[in-house]
Amino acid sequence: MKKILITGAKGQLGSELKVLSKNYPQFEWVFTDWQELDLCDLVHLNTELSKINPQIIINCAAHTAVDKAESEVELSDVLNHQSVGVLAQWSRSHACQLIHVSTDYVFDGRA
């Protein structure tokens, strides 16, 4: 059974995925919010990911309050940038699929 890790499980998208997950019992779902998996703790993030050991990660966590993101630059950088890099590196080294969700506030689709 594939294990799917959802980060940001208490946010808008994570909450919806939790509801929808009931329709997919063939997967083992692990829903985490910052209390269970602190993405800002870059030192321990790899260890925590290895404990969970998912085959798929859907990253729904983000600093989404645009006004606060502009005043809390360091937090926004760690949560929206650095932690995503750790997720990507861990996923690559563990043959895990990573799905990262973004918005037009972060990336408008044009490179």
**pLDDT tens sequence across 83-103:** 999 999 999 999 999 999 876
Which residue ranges make up each domain of the chain? 1-55+84-104
Q: Give the pLDDT score at 111.
A: 62
Q: Give the pLDDT score at 78.
A: 82
Q: How do residues 36-87 score in pLDDT, each as one tens digit? A: 999 999 999 999 999 999 999 999 998 777 777 777 888 888 888 899 999 9
Residue 21: name the closest of 11, 6, 34, 40 by CA: 6
Max Cα–Cα distance, the chain, nearest Å:
43
CB-based contacts of 94: which residues, under 8 Å, 6+ apart?
Answer: 49, 50, 53
Q: Give the pLDDT score at 104.
A: 62
> Distance of CA 98 to CAs 43, 47, 70, 71, Å?
20, 17, 27, 29
Name the pTM for this structure: 0.87
